[in-house]
Amino acid sequence: MSNKRASQGGSKKSTKKPRTVFKPCPIADSSDTLASAAPNISSTSNAPAAIPAAPTTTQHTRGYQVYSLSDGRLGMRHKDSSMQVESTTSTSAADSVNSAQTEAIVAAVFEGLSVEEAEGLHPDHQQHNFTKADAKRPRPELRASARVRDWVPHQTQFLDELLRFFGSEYAIDTGDVRCHGCDKSKASLRCTECECRKLFCKSCIVNRHKDLALHHIKTWDGDHFKRVSLESLGLIIQLGHDNETCDKPAETTRQIVVGDISGIHEVTVRFCECLDDTGDVLPQWTQLFRKGWFPATTKRPETAFTFRMLDIFQELNFQAKTNVYDYWRSLERVTDNSGGSTAIDRYKQFSHCVRLWRHLVMLKRGGRAHDPEGIANTKEGELALECPACPHPGKNLPPDWETSPAHIKWLYTLFLMIDANFRAKLKDRGLDDYELAPGWSYYVENSKFKAHVDAAGEQTEKNGCSAEHKAILNANLRREGYIASGVGVVLCTRHALIRKNTAGDIPLGEKYAIMDYLIFSTVLGVILALLLSYDIVCQWYKNLPRRIKELPPRLYYDLTATEVRYAIPKKHIRVHGPAHSRFSFNYLKNVGRTYGEGIEAQWAYLNPVSLSAREMGPGVRHEVLNDHWGAWNWQKIIDFAPRLLASLRDADKTYAAQHADYMDFSLSFTAQQVSKWMRAIHEWDEDPVHAPDPYEEPRTAVTLKSTRLQIADEEAEEIAAGTLPLHDVSPGVFLQLGLDLEEQQRNLRSKQSWGSRTEASLASIQEKRNALARRVDSWQTLQDLHMPIVAQIRVNGPPTSQPHASDRASVPAGTSPSPAIVPEHSHASAAPAPKSTSPNHSRKAEEILLWLPSALPVNLRSTLLAGLADKERRLRLAQADDSLEEIRRYRRILTGILEFKQLNVTGTGQKAGTKVRTLYTSFQDKIVRAAARYRAARSALETLDAGGDWERRFKVLLAADIRGPGRDSESNKPGEGRYEISWIWLVPNSAGELRNMAAHPDPAADTEEYLQNIAVEWAQSKARAERWGEEVKLLQEEMRRVIEYFRWKVQWWRDQAHLRDAPDAVTRGLGIYAARQAAIFEGLARRCVEMWFPYLKSRDGGVPVWMAPYATPDLIARVDGARTSRRRPRRAATALDSDDDTADEFSASEEES
Ligand SMILES: [Zn+2]
Ligand SMILES: [Zn+2]
Ligand SMILES: [Zn+2]
Ligand SMILES: [Zn+2]
Ligand SMILES: [Zn+2]
């Protein structure tokens, strides 16, 4: 046990290291630590004789393929295929030796040896004689199972070694072993913590452990070793003099319990009673503290915990969310798992010390020890970690930022998002609510906040938008026995760091008064332009000027003094009705590509801990959540270097593509037409409330939106009536999210089948896939509530071995998963989901079956909550309607493009013609997607409502049906005799309106209609290009700010070093700590420069001016030198690696073992 612990050492890095990326030769790769770590046991392996060398052999491998590794060794691919081993035509002796060796190695590999072992048989093997095709394979895989299989022949040895290790290297059972220390006495003791197995006598082992009092000692008991404490061997720890002798030791000793990562120890200490300069004896707790032991009390301490234990616990708590109780119980088991001895229970003391430790660490990192004003004068929010990428005047903005011209000043906008989480509840257990550091970091000071919330009382704001249902739902979530129903919080939208003074407990529903308080306490004193985003901002902002007056005067914010704009997070805007373009991140100017999706990840990070925090006292809960937010922010801060670089690469690429699209688009029209559209957009920018919205799609049927709203209204009523179970998300919203996911899966699949297979596009698909997998994951937790039956199906497959005939609704519409994208190990059989405890991880995100009601077999569907299947039916009807309308709309546009081309473009040259063709293709793609959606909706309806009324309207959509309106002029078949109108034009939309465009004879009217439709498409394309252009600028500004902030922080820490008058040793400690902090931030700044400089240099336009001061001649030389041997961009490599099952499985199996 303890050995395994020691070897894994709790280090995250060590488990990552063996990840091997095999690169095609000849690029040198020395990162193959796996091979070097493999034990060399060639002497004992059952090596087969080398097979006689045939000139050319085609080896049918047993599921492996052998190829050469970058460093010249052989690799093995887990794949059933045949492979040609090239013969060497050379007759030179050396070559034939090499060739023979190679083949012998190959033969050995086929016999079941690992490549490393096989090579071990022929250590001088250098050359690799395999076909170029094999050598060129970009990412050979060595699967986790193959690794295990390689290992199996060693298992006996491993097991024997294990027993040998815990036995004895010395023949203690047969006779006397002499002490390794003095060579005089009989030895019978050894230490399990010291990195040796040597045996010592009693006095030697006690001497060796004067500075290592927390080691576990074992003594020989005739036929085995048993635990014995150093204390019982006579070790008494003298305190007060760093383990050296004391002039005036206390007369009595005391036994105390010390908790450490190695277990729980009972030690005997002797306190020091020497007098210091002031004639005092050093307090006992201080004597323990100076040993690195945190005493549980200041009065006559009998329990202490080592600093390293508190440290490790805190990290485990952040990362694994291990709670105090579990950690303490594990520690008890580490100490003695035999069940023989009674546990020493210090759980309560440990819990107490953890609380103080969190507090002290936060004060230390905030520089409160360095401030002569002392802890008591800590300012509100001072201990929160600021986002270095956000603008902070005086820290990372140029001195003249306020007077900079408008085209630059927008870069200094502060983007903030507001959100609430209703899982972070708090039970009322009548616990004492003392809070350390109240309001000093992320939570607002509670008493002031509470006074404001109580005074605000019930608020009934008029709801003018359909999207407020969440708030309505949550208002009803009030439960007896809870103090808080959730937590409201503000993050920076672009980077998702928690802002200082921004979290508050929500007593009942999401009230504006609460959100007002949180947002204005975090922007207190901020003079930057603001962009506030919030799910229901369209309602929230309306009466803001009035409500601001109701805030405590100290929070007063002058909305007219700075520019304040409002937006709805991109994901949420879809549930708002029409007329919301002015809250859209897509259409607002100067917002870049700001979407604020980080809020979900932040809650996901916090949710496990907020569950356990429900039971805590209100004060402790604040301290714990504050601590976790601090850790979250810090992780984000140290991650800026790779993250911003990756974002900039992506933005550069996307901007180029979007800008080209937009230019092409514009060139398809006359300058006159384009400037007319430009004017319309400009007018809207100036006055978005009254000017016509250039982005609003002229849709005749938006039935999906209205059906969604209808269902939401009904659900709000049901909740009010108490007939609907209370979940955070209503069934209707849950289904809508499911349909959205299904759509995203379809899009990802089509991207894959059409997209190019370059590394970059694979990486971007992988990113999308990861993001989608996360979304599916969190949606499935909702599904567990709304469709509990599915949890079982996901693991075992449906009860019948055959998937239901019409679950095509959630499998690809019209396609079956192509063999290429079915994971190899899933043995695609009748069962739709592979049998696995976590199917999500073994499948690609776009292939995960969602198991919406329509995908369930009839017998299971009947077990669902009443009304769920019917809600899906209604949504599917709307989906079919909308998809059909979309097909018609895009068909109209296509027809328009062709007619427009004939009327306006003909004769303006070939270039314009090409542009038009590009345009045409892009709309065709949209039609294909809409058609796929229609088919999915229809096949779901077949299951949910077979033989229903809908069948008359929604026919099977064949590819040939997608034509019209009018005669297909593109088919160019003169004399095509009979023309039939496709049924798609004869379906009345939900309004019952039949737009028989098909028979429309008037080309002029067509063109007018076309121009109206296309203007929206053009405006959107323009907006896309502009947002990406802004993003490129914004990202560079953020890079600049991050480095500037780090450097400001370096200086700040240097300034803190010697502000205080303190005892020498404390002053020294303050200086050393400040220097270390400065070094950390200096390191962060350097890492940014070194990671970013090469890329920035390679871009058009070269290195930005702000980077110049950091670009040392040394760095420039290195970058120029490295350019000749350019490696794969780091980010692409990571993205691909995560696609690589090998790596994932490897680390996963490491964790399991
Ligand atoms: Zn000895
Ligand atoms: Zn030891
Ligand atoms: Zn002393
Ligand atoms: Zn930020
Ligand atoms: Zn709205």
Contact indicator for 196, 223 with CB cutoff of 8 Å: no
N residues, the chain: 1153
Minimum mean pLDDT among 11-15, 220-224, 336-340: which range? 11-15
Structure tokens at 511: 């009230």
Nearest to 259 by CA among 299, 309, 296: 309
In Å, how far from its chain's centre is CA 1104?
Answer: 30
Phi-psi region of 74 (alpha: psi -120 to 50; beta: other; left: phi over 0): beta
Alpha-carbon distance of 1137 to 1141, in angstroms, equals 8
More confidently predicted of 74 and 288: 288
User: Residues 361, 493: one domain?
Assistant: no
User: Residues 446, 537: one domain?
Assistant: yes
Is 1098 among the domain residues? yes
pLDDT at 622: 94
Expressed in angstroms and rounded, the spacing between residue 232 Cα and the centre of ligand 4 is 56
Expressed in angstroms and rounded, the spacing between residue 260 Cα and the centre of ligand 2 is 14
Expressed in angstroms and rounded, the spacing between residue 337 Cα and the centre of ligand 5 is 59
pLDDT at 277: 83
Expressed in angstroms and rounded, the spacing between residue 589 Cα and the centre of ligand 4 is 19
Expressed in angstroms and rounded, the spacing between residue 178 Cα and the centre of ligand 1 is 8
- The pLDDT of 754-759, averaged and rounded, is 60
Minimum mean pLDDT among 573-587, 862-876, 917-931, 1003-1017: which range? 1003-1017
Query: Near ion ligand 5, which residues have CB within 5 Å?
Result: 465, 467, 538, 576
Give the number of the ligand closest to the Cα of residue 217: 2
User: Residues 306, 440: one domain?
Assistant: no
- Integer CA distances (angstroms), 147 to 38, 115, 162, 447, 837, in order: 11, 10, 20, 59, 22
Taking each continuous run of H as one helix and of E as one strand, the counts in the chain are 37, 19
Local structure of residue 21 (DSSP, 8 states): -
Alpha-carbon distance of 911 to 419, in angstroms, equals 49
Burial class (CB in 10 A: 0-12, 13-18, 19+), 437: buried
pLDDT at 394 over 90: yes
Expressed in angstroms and rounded, the spacing between residue 293 Cα and the centre of ligand 1 is 29
Tell me the pLDDT of the chain averaged across its residues: 76
Minimum mean pLDDT among 511-525, 816-830, 911-925: which range? 816-830
Alpha-carbon distance of 698 to 280, in angstroms, equals 85
Expressed in angstroms and rounded, the spacing between residue 210 Cα and the centre of ligand 2 is 10
Tens-digit pLDDT profile for residues 635-647: 999 999 999 999 9
Expressed in angstroms and rounded, the spacing between residue 502 Cα and the centre of ligand 5 is 24
Nearest to 308 by CA among 263, 256, 365: 263
Burial class (CB in 10 A: 0-12, 13-18, 19+), 155: exposed
pLDDT band at residue 105 under the 50/70/90 scheme: very low
Expressed in angstroms and rounded, the spacing between residue 1051 Cα and the centre of ligand 4 is 21
Expressed in angstroms and rounded, the spacing between residue 389 Cα and the centre of ligand 4 is 5
Contact indicator for 964, 892 with CB cutoff of 8 Å: no
Expressed in angstroms and rounded, the spacing between residue 335 Cα and the centre of ligand 1 is 26
- The pLDDT of 782-806, averaged and rounded, is 70
pLDDT at 338: 77
Minimum mean pLDDT among 216-220, 632-636, 824-828, 1002-1006: which range? 824-828
Nearest to 746 by CA among 679, 814, 685: 814
Query: Which secondary-structure segment (H or E) carries 133?
Result: helix 132-136
pLDDT at 626: 96
3-class DSSP state of 850: coil
Q: Is the dihedral of CA 771, 772, 774, 779 positive or negative?
A: positive
Domain boundary among 569, 589, 611: 611
- Cα 576-578-584 angle, rounded to 5 deg: 65
pTM (predicted TM-score)? 0.70
Tens-digit pLDDT profile for residues 552-596: 999 988 888 889 999 998 877 766 767 789 999 999 999 999 986
Alpha-carbon distance of 755 to 766, in angstroms, equals 13
Tens-digit pLDDT profile for residues 1118-1142: 877 765 554 444 443 333 333 333 3
pLDDT at 383: 97
Expressed in angstroms and rounded, the spacing between residue 288 Cα and the centre of ligand 3 is 13
User: Residues 67, 174: one domain?
Assistant: no
pLDDT at 300 over 90: yes
Expressed in angstroms and rounded, the spacing between residue 207 Cα and the centre of ligand 1 is 9
Is 655 among the domain residues? no
Is 1119 among the domain residues? yes
Query: Which secondary-structure segment (H or E) carries 78?
Result: strand 74-78
Expressed in angstroms and rounded, the spacing between residue 387 Cα and the centre of ligand 4 is 5
Strand ranges (E), 379-458: 414-421, 426-427
Expressed in angstroms and rounded, the spacing between residue 268 Cα and the centre of ligand 3 is 16
Give the number of the ligand closest to the Cα of residue 633: 4
Contact indicator for 70, 17 with CB cutoff of 8 Å: no
pLDDT at 131 over 50: no
Expressed in angstroms and rounded, the spacing between residue 201 Cα and the centre of ligand 1 is 4
Expressed in angstroms and rounded, the spacing between residue 212 Cα and the centre of ligand 2 is 6
pLDDT at 857 over 70: yes
User: Residues 20, 127: one domain?
Assistant: yes
- The pLDDT of 540-561, averaged and rounded, is 88
Expressed in angstroms and rounded, the spacing between residue 469 Cα and the centre of ligand 5 is 11
Query: Near ion ligand 2, which residues have CB within 5 Å?
Result: 191, 193-194, 215
Beta bridge partners of 826: none
Is 1009 among the domain residues? no
Expressed in angstroms and rounded, the spacing between residue 581 Cα and the centre of ligand 5 is 10
pLDDT at 1083 over 50: yes
Range with top average pLDDT, 258-267, 698-707, 770-779, 868-877: 258-267
Is 1058 among the domain residues? yes
- The pLDDT of 289-314, averaged and rounded, is 96
Expressed in angstroms and rounded, the spacing between residue 246 Cα and the centre of ligand 3 is 4
Expressed in angstroms and rounded, the spacing between residue 187 Cα and the centre of ligand 1 is 7
User: Residues 417, 348: one domain?
Assistant: no
pLDDT at 1106: 86
Expressed in angstroms and rounded, the spacing between residue 295 Cα and the centre of ligand 3 is 19
pLDDT at 385: 97
Expressed in angstroms and rounded, the spacing between residue 174 Cα and the centre of ligand 1 is 20
pLDDT band at residue 894 under the 50/70/90 scheme: confident
Expressed in angstroms and rounded, the spacing between residue 217 Cα and the centre of ligand 5 is 69
Domain boundary among 916, 940, 963: 963
Nearest to 215 by CA among 335, 77, 307: 335
Contact indicator for 919, 665 with CB cutoff of 8 Å: yes
Minimum mean pLDDT among 449-458, 564-573, 953-962, 1117-1126: which range? 1117-1126
Is 1145 among the domain residues? no
Give Cβ neighbours of residue 388 (< 8 Å, ≥ 6 apart): 396, 637, 640, 1041, 1042, 1045, 1046, 1049
Tens-digit pLDDT profile for residues 990-1037: 444 444 444 444 445 556 666 777 788 889 889 999 999 999 999 999
- The pLDDT of 304-314, averaged and rounded, is 97
Expressed in angstroms and rounded, the spacing between residue 611 Cα and the centre of ligand 4 is 27
Expressed in angstroms and rounded, the spacing between residue 250 Cα and the centre of ligand 3 is 8
pLDDT at 800: 57
pLDDT band at residue 373 under the 50/70/90 scheme: very high
- Write the CATH number for 185: 4.10.640
More confidently predicted of 510 and 987: 987
Expressed in angstroms and rounded, the spacing between residue 287 Cα and the centre of ligand 2 is 23
Range with top average pLDDT, 456-465, 848-857, 868-877, 1062-1071: 1062-1071
Expressed in angstroms and rounded, the spacing between residue 59 Cα and the centre of ligand 3 is 78
- The pLDDT of 405-414, averaged and rounded, is 95
Phi-psi region of 663 (alpha: psi -120 to 50; beta: other; left: phi over 0): alpha
Expressed in angstroms and rounded, the spacing between residue 1041 Cα and the centre of ligand 4 is 10
User: Residues 279, 208: one domain?
Assistant: no
Expressed in angstroms and rounded, the spacing between residue 793 Cα and the centre of ligand 2 is 52
pLDDT at 96 over 50: no
User: Residues 99, 193: one domain?
Assistant: no
Give the number of the ligand closest to the Cα of residue 465: 5
Expressed in angstroms and rounded, the spacing between residue 1003 Cα and the centre of ligand 3 is 104
Domain count across the chain = 6
Expressed in angstroms and rounded, the spacing between residue 417 Cα and the centre of ligand 4 is 11
Expressed in angstroms and rounded, the spacing between residue 816 Cα and the centre of ligand 5 is 39
Expressed in angstroms and rounded, the spacing between residue 204 Cα and the centre of ligand 1 is 4
Structure tokens at 886: 């979309």
Expressed in angstroms and rounded, the spacing between residue 297 Cα and the centre of ligand 3 is 21
Local structure of residue 854 (DSSP, 8 states): G
More confidently predicted of 1077 and 578: 1077
Give Cβ neighbours of residue 164 (< 8 Å, ≥ 6 apart): none
Expressed in angstroms and rounded, the spacing between residue 183 Cα and the centre of ligand 1 is 6
Expressed in angstroms and rounded, the spacing between residue 230 Cα and the centre of ligand 2 is 10
More confidently predicted of 668 and 22: 668
Expressed in angstroms and rounded, the spacing between residue 741 Cα and the centre of ligand 2 is 57
Domain boundary among 963, 991, 1017: 963
Query: Near ion ligand 4, which residues have CB within 5 Å?
Result: 387, 389-390, 492, 495
Query: Distance between terminal CA atoms of the chain?
Result: 12
- The pLDDT of 769-780, averaged and rounded, is 85
Is 661 among the domain residues? no
pLDDT band at residue 769 under the 50/70/90 scheme: confident
Alpha-carbon distance of 311 to 314, in angstroms, equals 5
User: Residues 801, 838: one domain?
Assistant: yes
Contact indicator for 313, 627 with CB cutoff of 8 Å: no
User: Residues 198, 285: one domain?
Assistant: no
Give residue 174's domain range: 167-229
Q: Which amino acid is at 195?
A: E
User: Residues 414, 539: one domain?
Assistant: yes
3-class DSSP state of 365: helix
pLDDT at 980 over 80: no
Give the number of the ligand closest to the Cα of residue 388: 4
Give the number of the ligand closest to the Cα of residue 290: 3
Alpha-carbon distance of 238 to 259, in angstroms, equals 18
Is 557 among the domain residues? yes
pLDDT at 100 over 70: no
Query: Which secondary-structure segment (H or E) carries 664?
Result: helix 640-667
Tens-digit pLDDT profile for residues 27-51: 333 333 333 333 333 333 343 434 3
- Look up tokens 């520019």; give the residue: 563
Expressed in angstroms and rounded, the spacing between residue 243 Cα and the centre of ligand 3 is 10
pLDDT band at residue 94 under the 50/70/90 scheme: very low
Give the number of the ligand closest to the Cα of residue 184: 1
pLDDT at 624: 95
pLDDT band at residue 461 under the 50/70/90 scheme: low
More confidently predicted of 477 and 589: 589
Give the number of the ligand closest to the Cα of residue 272: 3
Give the number of the ligand closest to the Cα of residue 178: 1
SS3 content of the chain, % helix, strand, coil (to 5): 50, 10, 40
pLDDT above 90 as % of the chain? 37
pLDDT band at residue 465 under the 50/70/90 scheme: low
Alpha-carbon distance of 190 to 668, in angstroms, equals 85
Range with top average pLDDT, 98-112, 249-263, 696-710, 777-791: 249-263
User: Residues 202, 311: one domain?
Assistant: no
Expressed in angstroms and rounded, the spacing between residue 251 Cα and the centre of ligand 3 is 12
